[in-house]
């Protein structure tokens, strides 16, 4: 596997800000992987996301996406159609008042022939499980459904990478579950690279890699099992580990010796049950 997004000592400061929001970040994201980016508010998560499709360009350092330098203005459209971006508030990214017209927006901008747009719209809606709602008005859908329409809207560009900036922050638990399972499926079955920016630990359990950001630089990175089992680090970053890790950690303090690498709820329950039985 090769790295599809590469940050090389990226510095960035928002105009008018005193402090840099990115202080020399270097990271690389493998093609086809599911990467979760964590960090508390102000850690630079959203700035990292916005660098991935050239909404922001670094003050110094370099961001390379699919081998293209984001600072090069002539690559702009090519980068944006390769990196689909989904934001927090679904209401503010839906542009049309019929679901299928909204999904068609991006391919229309790309100048794709109408017959092919129709195909792309239907298949994108199918991928997120919203095909039956294609004639609906978006403002009548639930939050989770709107967010899935927004995802379909970027899928219609047929991007290789999809970046989601806290897509579940405004959703109820059911909507969160639907969105997360949709993007997990896109990564596993459709081999897309997924970058999920979030502060819900439970959403990162299935990720291949977790990157923890703190004050504009990378505080930790690695497979979720590794990162989450470092309870001290997580607490220092103001993040809480997934519930499963917390339970195992607390049980260990009471004399058990569970590995802290089991993140799935069922597997964790099974492990505790086995341990109790053998006692």
Partner 1 sequence: MLKDITLGQYFPGDTIVHRLDPRTKLILVVLYIIALFQAEGWVSYAVVLAVSVLCMLLSHIRPKNLFRGLKPMLIIITLTALLNIFYTDGTPVVPGWIITWEGIARAVKMILRIVLLITGTFLLTYTTSPIALTDGLEMLLSPLKKWKVPVHEMTMMMSMALRFIPTLIEETDKIMSAQRARGADFETGSLVRRATALIPVLVPLFVSSFRRADELAVAMECRCYHGGEGRTRMKQLVMSSADHVALLLGVLFLAGIIVLKLLGL
Contacting positions for partner 1 (CB under 8 A) = 53, 55, 77, 80-81, 84-85, 87, 89, 91-98, 100-101, 104-114, 117-118, 121, 137, 139, 153-154, 157
Question: Taking the complex as a whole, how short is the minimal distance between the CB of residue 91 and partner 1, in angstroms?
Answer: 6
148's tokens: 């899935």
Residue 166 to residue 274: CA distance in whole angstroms = 36
Nearer to partner 1, 146 or 199 (CB): 146
Nearer to partner 1, 165 or 178 (CB): 165
Nearer to partner 1, 89 or 261 (CB): 89
Question: Taking the complex as a whole, how short is the minimal distance between the CB of residue 108 and partner 1, in angstroms?
Answer: 5
Helix or strand or coil: residue 108? Answer: helix
Question: Taking the complex as a whole, how short is the minimal distance between the CB of residue 277 and partner 1, in angstroms?
Answer: 52
Nearer to partner 1, 163 or 187 (CB): 163
Question: Taking the complex as a whole, how short is the minimal distance between the CB of residue 22 and partner 1, in angstroms?
Answer: 18
Residue 23 to residue 43: CA distance in whole angstroms = 10
Question: Taking the complex as a whole, how short is the minimal distance between the CB of residue 98 and partner 1, in angstroms?
Answer: 7
**DSSP type of residue 114:** H
Largest Cα–Cα distance of the chain, in whole Å? 67
- Helix (H), strand (E), coil (C) string for the chain: CCEEEEEEEEEECCCCCCCCCEEEEEEEEECCCEEEEECCCCCCHHHHHHHHCCCCCCCEEEEEECCEECCCHHHHHHHHHHEEEECCCHHHCCCCCCHHHHHCHHHHHCCCCHHHHHHHHHHHHHHCCCHHHCCCCHHHCCHHHHHHHHHHHHHCCCCCEEEEECCCCCCCHHHHHHHHHHHHHHHHHHCCEEEEECCCHHHHCCCCEEEEEECCEEEEEECHHHHHHCHHHHHHCCCCCCHHHHHHHHHHHCCCCCCCCCCCHHHHHHHHHHHHHCC
Nearer to partner 1, 85 or 245 (CB): 85
Question: Taking the complex as a whole, how short is the minimal distance between the CB of residue 100 and partner 1, in angstroms?
Answer: 8
Question: Taking the complex as a whole, how short is the minimal distance between the CB of residue 30 and partner 1, in angstroms?
Answer: 23
Nearer to partner 1, 68 or 110 (CB): 110
Nearer to partner 1, 110 or 251 (CB): 110
Question: Taking the complex as a whole, how short is the minimal distance between the CB of residue 233 and partner 1, in angstroms?
Answer: 33
Residue 23 to residue 44: CA distance in whole angstroms = 9
Nearer to partner 1, 46 or 244 (CB): 46
């Amino acid at each position: 596997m090769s790295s599809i997004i590469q940050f090389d000592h990226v510095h960035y400061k928002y105009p008018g800000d005193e402090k840099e929001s990115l202080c020399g970040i270097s990271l690389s994201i493998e093609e086809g992987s599911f990467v979760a980016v964590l960090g508390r508010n102000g850690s630079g998560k959203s700035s990292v996301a916005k660098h991935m499709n050239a909404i922001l360009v670094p003050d110094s350092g370099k961001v390379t996406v699919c081998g293209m330098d984001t600072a090069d203005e002539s690559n702009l459209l090519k980068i944006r159609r390769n990196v689909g971006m989904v934001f927090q508030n679904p209401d503010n990214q839906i542009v049309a008042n019929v679901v299928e017209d909204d999904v068609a927006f991006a391919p229309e901008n790309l100048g794709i022939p109408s017959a092919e747009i129709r195909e792309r719209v239907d298949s994108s809606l199918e991928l997120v499980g919203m095909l039956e709602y294609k004639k609906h008005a978006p403002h009548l859908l639930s939050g989770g459904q709107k967010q899935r329409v927004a995802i379909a809207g970027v899928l219609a560009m047929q991007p290789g990478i999809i970046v989601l900036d806290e897509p579940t922050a405004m959703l109820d638990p059911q909507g969160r579950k639907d969105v997360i399972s949709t993007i997990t499926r896109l990564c596993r079955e459709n081999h897309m690279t997924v970058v999920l920016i979030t502060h819900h630990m439970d959403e990162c359990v299935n990720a291949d890699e977790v990157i923890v950001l703190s004050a504009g630089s990378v505080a930790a990175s690695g497979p979720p099992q590794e990162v989450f089992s470092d309870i001290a680090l997580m607490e220092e970053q103001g993040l809480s580990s997934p519930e499963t890790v917390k339970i195992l950690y607390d049980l260990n303090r009471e004399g058990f010796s569970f590995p802290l690498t089991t993140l799935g709820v069922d597997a964790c329950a099974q492990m505790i049950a086995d341990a109790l039985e053998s006692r």
